[in-house]
Amino acid sequence: MEEKQHFLIVSFPAQGHINPSLQLAKRLARLSARVTFSTSIEYNSRLNTSSSPPTLSFSPYSQGKYDKSFKLPDLDPSDLLTELASAGIKSLTAIANELAASGSPVTCVIFNFLVPWARDVAADLAVPAVLYWIQAAALFRVYHLFFNGHAEKIINIATQEKPTSEIALPGVPTLQVRDLPSLLLKKLTVDELFFPAVEATFQGLSRVVLVNTFDGLEKSTLTAAGEAELVAIGPALPSAYTDGEDEEDKAIGGDLQRAEDEYMAWLSAQKEGSVVYVSFGSHSVLPVSEREEISKALRESGRPYLWVARGEREGVEEGEKGRVVEWCSQVEVLASGAVGCFVTHCGWNSTLESVVCGVPMVGLPQWTDQMANCRLVEAEWGVGVRAEKAEKAELSRCIELVMGEGEGEDMRRRAKALASLARDAFREGGSSDRNLRAFVRSPMGGLT
Ligand code: UDX
């Protein structure tokens, strides 16, 4: 590592983006690079920065009039990303200038999708701008194909074929039509809102793209011929759960909400592999009718459960065997040993966290990349099952399949094997560690 190397990591202000970005920042800082982490002012003030190495510092950017309120339901969709980009560029440029004036100029900008304007700041500084893809490599390939000549084909298939028809795209595991990212098909208002920023992310891509995955998980996609070189550096989780180098390093980082206290004591009193953990990430809220169905399935299973029900409690039953919380420290829960099944929306962070902890999944994907992630879980890795509907009978079938004998035992065995591959990739000398070190030593890593 060159002493003068200085990474500026720029993250969109959302839990699912900040978590893997902050983990990368810590990792780079541990390699003794200087790292500055930048997200919005509001989210920066809520970061859990414990266990941050001394060479990591925080300089939030402004998102103009959205500095005070950035809750998706409050947004003016047509305005948000424009304001974010114009205020963000000015603010990030000022940050970079200050760092240069203090004698530590930025040598490489790393940004995740939805903040493609970070690339303009890097261009002004004449330093490399590297995309950090925080979803599966398979999804990167789908988007890349879409924005490079295959859009018409993909849209035609999506609109003309049955949802369960298989779709073969080069370098991508076989997906079903329904697994295609909803952002590309602009199925929801939020999909339309985010589409231009995703499109901009894929314009002027750097040759090297860092990806939060690992070689053993998505080998065929990572090695498939393509214009961009995908460099797997994940899973981006705290050290305590991956390489074990720093047992104190447990904070996922972007704990944007406060976890309640009591549930870990309850969890540790449960038998190994006995608990069903239910959570749908930081954004999705299921309709009341679906929450009621989940409640019925959990009650019927007779198993203890921990359910993260943010905000809306109607239809969420605690019962005798359940615990319902507003928020928890998810990685800690998954790593506790008590969880035998994760009922999840298959957000990429949740999926990777479950993989690292060896916990099989029941998928109830909601939007964006989650359907494809669920497909990987079920069809590629065999560590979970997709619930076809959020209905009691189907949910009961899936929970019993995952936690029961027979197929469930095979899933648990595969989940444990995958977890061990994940840790091997991340620890010193493992594939992700080697990949990250090689990137840092390359001109793309800002080595001058
Ligand atoms: C979204 C998309 O769903 C995801 O697919 C995309 O890649 C990033 O943006 P989100 O819906 O929040 O993210 O899901 P996910 O990617 O799973 O991230 C949620 C994060 O919040 C995880 O790191 C999880 O550990 C954390 N979390 C969630 C908690 O720490 N506690 C909780 O109670 C719930």
Does the pLDDT value for residue 108 go beyond 90?
Answer: yes
Which atom of ligand 1 is closest in space to residue 20's alpha carbon? 23
Which domains does the chain possess? 6-137+185-239+425-441 (3.40.50.2000), 258-424 (3.40.50.2000)
Q: Rounded to whole angstroms, how far apart are CA atoms 315 and 244?
A: 39
Which residues neighbour 413 within 8 Å (Cβ) at sequence distance 6 or greater?
A: none
Does the pLDDT value for residue 444 go beyond 90?
Answer: no
Partners of 350 in the β-ladder = none
Query: Smallest Cα–Cα separation from 84: which of 42, 46, 43, 40?
Result: 40
CA of residue 331 to ligand 1 center, whole Å: 11
Q: Are strands 175-176 and 166-167 parallel, antiparallel or unpaired?
A: antiparallel
- Predicted confidence at residue 230, as pLDDT, reads 96
Ligand 1 touching residue 327 (CB < 6 A): yes
- Predicted confidence at residue 65, as pLDDT, reads 85
The first and second tokens of residue 302, run together, are 């007779």
Does the pLDDT value for residue 131 go beyond 80?
Answer: yes
The first and second tokens of residue 193, run together, are 């809102």
Q: Rounded to whole angstroms, how far apart are CA atoms 13 and 248?
A: 26
Question: What SS3 class is residue 256?
Answer: coil
Please count the other Cβ atoms lying within 10 Å of the Cβ belonging to residue 319.
Answer: 12
Partners of 9 in the β-ladder = 37, 110
CA of residue 20 to ligand 1 center, whole Å: 10
- Predicted confidence at residue 418, as pLDDT, reads 98
Mean pLDDT, rounded, for 186-192 = 87
Q: Rounded to whole angstroms, how far apart are CA atoms 34 and 25?
A: 9
Ligand 1 touching residue 353 (CB < 6 A): yes
- Out of 263, 264, 282, 377, mutate this one to test ligand 1's pocket (max ligand atoms within 8 Å of CB): namely 282
Catalytic residue list = 17
Strands (E), 186-338: 208-211, 229-232, 275-279, 305-308, 322-325
- Predicted confidence at residue 255, as pLDDT, reads 62
Ligand 1 touching residue 112 (CB < 6 A): no
CA of residue 216 to ligand 1 center, whole Å: 22
Please count the other Cβ atoms lying within 10 Å of the Cβ belonging to residue 153.
Answer: 13
Q: Rounded to whole angstroms, how far apart are CA atoms 388 and 187?
A: 19
Q: Rounded to whole angstroms, how far apart are CA atoms 230 and 222?
A: 6
Ligand 1 touching residue 16 (CB < 6 A): yes
Question: What SS3 class is residue 84?
Answer: helix
- Out of 201, 349, 353, 364, mutate this one to test ligand 1's pocket (max ligand atoms within 8 Å of CB): namely 349
Task: Tell me which amino acid residue 237 is.
Answer: L
Model confidence band, residue 260 (pLDDT cutoffs 50, 70, 90) = low
CA of residue 328 to ligand 1 center, whole Å: 12
Question: What SS3 class is residue 346?
Answer: coil
Mean pLDDT, rounded, for 395-424 = 97
